[in-house]
Amino acid sequence: MPSFGSSLLVPSLPVGWGSTGAQTAYTRDASAYETRTSAFETYRRRLVDLLPLRRGDVVLDVGCGTGLCFERVRSRIGAEGVIVGVDASRDMLAVAADRVAERGWHNVILVQSPVEEAELPVIADHAMFCATHDVLQSGDALDNVVGHVRDGGTVAAAGGKWAAPWAVALNAGILALHAPYVRDFAGFDRPWAAHLAPRLNRLRVQEVAMGGGYLASGTVPPRAVPLVAGPIDRGDQESADDRADGTRG
């Protein structure tokens, strides 16, 4: 498995992305994001645990934000694995890049782009979506992600959802909790149903938090012609030090 001299930011942010509506939560408030969503930490852990990770695996963290799932993923794939974090928000990825630099990790690639058009430099073993409702409602985003996961790889998602309609007070709380981070609540009753479920085999869904959240996972169906991973494009970011002494993150 290749190593990386540093994380890689690929700037391809469309003009205007992140400037309106819910996305202000990812621009002005990116540094406060971790504190505000700390209650979700247990579900981040449970989401990562749905992936059958092995050392050396390549994992796509879709809508990775500030990289709050990186630590747990990396503890299981080791320095020889690779995390590719994709996010459209420059500010969220800047916090993620600081996290990567502070930990001294050399096997994290950060791709700044809408998922729909992201150029993903890997065929991944697994992919995850943590609290990314808007991404899950995009068929183009799902096509791009699932198209970069190997046959049989696991794709897992976790996030908020509406509880039962009679749970009015609970749903009011869910709305308040998620409104800063969700652009469009369409599909919020079953966030996995429109685009994730049709693209995977054996999607299993577990409701959590009294129906106010879910965990889901399934596997990528075999293709007629299996995807083959090519060499990972490290751009010009591989450090001369790494080449010289062969160290890894």
Ligand X SMILES: C[S@@+](CC[C@H](N)C(=O)[O-])C[C@H]1O[C@@H](n2cnc3c(N)ncnc32)[C@H](O)[C@@H]1O
Rounded CA separation 179/36 (Å): 13
Shortest distance in whole angstroms from residue 70 CB to ligand X: 10
Tell me whether residue 90 or residue 248 sits nearer to ligand X (CB atom).
Answer: 90
Residue 44 as a binder of ligand X (CB under 6 A): the answer is yes
User: Directed axis angle between helix 90-103 and helix 70-77, to 10°?
Assistant: 40
Count the Cβ atoms, other than its own, within 10 Å of residue 68: 21
Question: Binders of ligand X: how many residues, by CB under 6 A?
Answer: 21
- 123 or 130, CB closer to ligand X? 130
Q: Is 144 in the site for ligand X (CB under 6 A)?
A: no
> In this chain, which of 77, 82, 92, 145 binds ligand X, going by CB under 6 A?
92
Residues 192-231 that bind ligand X (CB under 6 A): none
CA distances from 88 to 24, 129, 132, 204, 217 (A): 12, 14, 12, 28, 24
Write down the least CB distance from residue 57 to ligand X, Å.
Answer: 18
Q: Is 222 exposed, middle or buried (0-12, 13-18, 19+ CB in 10 A)?
A: exposed
209: its two tokens: 């938090």
HSE of 55 in the Cβ direction (CA atoms, 13 Å)? Answer: 3
- Write down the least CB distance from residue 162 to ligand X, Å: 17
Q: Is 191 in the site for ligand X (CB under 6 A)?
A: no
Q: How many CB atoms lie within 10 A of CB 76?
A: 16
Interaction between residue 135 and ligand X (CB under 6 A) = yes
List interacting residues with ligand X (CB under 6 A): 26, 37, 44, 63-65, 68-69, 87-89, 92, 114-115, 130-132, 134-135, 141, 181
